[in-house]
Structure 1
Amino acid sequence: MNIRFFDPSDKEIYDAYVTQHPEGTFFHLSGWKNLIESSFGHESFYLIAEEHHQIRGVFPLFSVKSFLFGRSMVSLPFAAYGGILADNDDAKSALYLKAVELTKEQRLDYLEIRNEKKPLPDLPEKSLYFVFKKEISGDNDKNFNAIPKKARRMIRLGIKNELKGVFGGTELLNDFYGLFAFNYHRLGTPVFSKAYLKNILKTFKNRSNLLIIYKDDKPLSGVLNFYYKDQVIPYYSGAYPDAQEWAANDYLYWALMSDAAERGYRFFDYGRSKKDTGPFHFKRHWGFEPKQLHYQYYLNRLEEMPNISPANPKYQRKIEMWKKLPIWAVNLIGPQLVRYIP
Structure 2
Amino acid sequence: MEFSQLKKEQLGEWQAYVDQHPDATPYHHVGWGQAITSAYKHTSYYFAAKQDGQIVGILPVVAIKPPLKSTQYCSLPFCDVGGPLANDNKTAQQLIDFAAESLCAEQPELFSLRLAGKPVPEEELSAQAKVRMLLTLPGDAETLMASFKSKLRSQIRKAEKNGLTCQLGRNDTLLNDFYQVFVANMRDLGSPVHGFSLFEQLEKCYGDSILMSVVYSENKPVGGGIVLMTKDRASIPWASTIQEYNRLAPNMMLYWSLLARIADSGRKEFDFGRSTPNEGTYKFKAQWGATPHALEWFAYKQLQEDKLSTSSSARLLAEKTWRHMPLGVTKAIGPMLRRYINL
Aligned residue number for residue 99 of structure 1: 99
Structure 1 length normalisation: TM-score? 0.89
Give the deviation of 1:307 after TM superposition. 4.5
- 1:127–1:295 Cα contact (<8 Å) kept: no
Give the deviation of 1:154 after TM superposition. 1.2
Give the deviation of 1:337 after TM superposition. 0.5
Distance 1:333 1:308, change over 3 A: farther
In structure 2, C-alpha distance between the alignment counterparts of 1:156 and 1:23, rounded to whole Å = 34
Moved more, 319-328 or 159-168: 159-168
- 1:114–1:296 Cα contact (<8 Å) kept: yes
Q: What amino acid sits opposite 1:60 in the alignment?
A: P
Aligned residue number for residue 156 of structure 1: 157
Give the deviation of 1:200 after TM superposition. 0.8
Q: What amino acid sits opposite 2:223 in the alignment?
A: S
Alignment of 1:106-185 (within 5 A): 107=107, 109-117=109-117, 127-168=128-169, 169-185=171-187
In structure 2, C-alpha distance between the alignment counterparts of 1:32 and 1:155, rounded to whole Å = 32
Partner SS for 1:116: strand
In structure 2, list runs of 5 or more residues that go unmatched: 119-126
Per-residue CA shift, 1:219-241, capped at 9, x if unaligned? 22111111211223222111112
Alignment of 1:32-51 (within 5 A): 32-51=32-51
Alignment of 1:324-335 (within 5 A): 324-335=324-335
- 2:236–2:272 Cα contact (<8 Å) kept: yes
Q: Kindly indicate whether residue 8 of structure 2 is the aligned counterpart of residue 5 of structure 1.
A: no
Paired residue for 2:281, among 258, 279, 282? 279
Give the deviation of 1:146 after TM superposition. 2.0
In structure 1, C-alpha distance between the alignment counterparts of 2:336 and 2:106, rounded to whole Å = 23
Per-residue CA shift, 1:197-234, capped at 9, x if unaligned? 11111111211121111122122211111121122322
- 2:276–2:282 Cα contact (<8 Å) kept: yes
Give the deviation of 1:147 after TM superposition. 2.3
Partner SS for 1:229: coil
Per-residue CA shift, 1:25-55, capped at 9, x if unaligned? 1111212232111111112221111222121
Q: What amino acid sits opposite 1:220 in the alignment?
A: V
Aligned residue number for residue 228 of structure 2: 226
Structure 2 length normalisation: TM-score? 0.88
Aligned residue number for residue 122 of structure 1: none
Give the deviation of 1:312 after TM superposition. 4.5
Aligned residue number for residue 288 of structure 1: 290
- 1:71–1:108 Cα contact (<8 Å) kept: no
Alignment of 1:279-318 (within 5 A): 279-298=281-300, 307=307, 311-318=311-318
In structure 1, C-alpha distance between the alignment counterparts of 2:28 and 2:241, rounded to whole Å = 29
Partner SS for 1:61: strand
Distance 1:107 1:39, change over 3 A: farther
Moved more, 148-157 or 248-257: 148-157
- 1:127–1:294 Cα contact (<8 Å) kept: no
Distance 1:65 1:109, change over 3 A: farther
Give the deviation of 1:320 after TM superposition. 1.0
- Aligned-pair Cα RMSD in Å: 2.4
Give the deviation of 1:127 after TM superposition. 4.2
Distance 1:263 1:54, change over 3 A: closer
In structure 1, C-alpha distance between the alignment counterparts of 2:234 and 2:181, rounded to whole Å = 21
- 1:69–1:308 Cα contact (<8 Å) kept: no
Moved more, 136-145 or 249-258: 136-145
Aligned residue number for residue 252 of structure 1: 254
- 1:19–1:25 Cα contact (<8 Å) kept: no
- 1:310–1:316 Cα contact (<8 Å) kept: no
In structure 2, C-alpha distance between the alignment counterparts of 1:264 and 1:298, rounded to whole Å = 37
Moved more, 263-272 or 213-222: 263-272
Per-residue CA shift, 1:78-131, capped at 9, x if unaligned? 12210011223442232121122134347575221111137xxxxxxx943311
Aligned residue number for residue 323 of structure 1: 323
Q: Kindly indicate whether residue 240 of structure 2 is the aligned counterpart of residue 241 of structure 1.
A: no
Per-residue CA shift, 1:6-29, capped at 9, x if unaligned? 112222221111222222211112
In structure 2, C-alpha distance between the alignment counterparts of 1:275 and 1:171, rounded to whole Å = 35
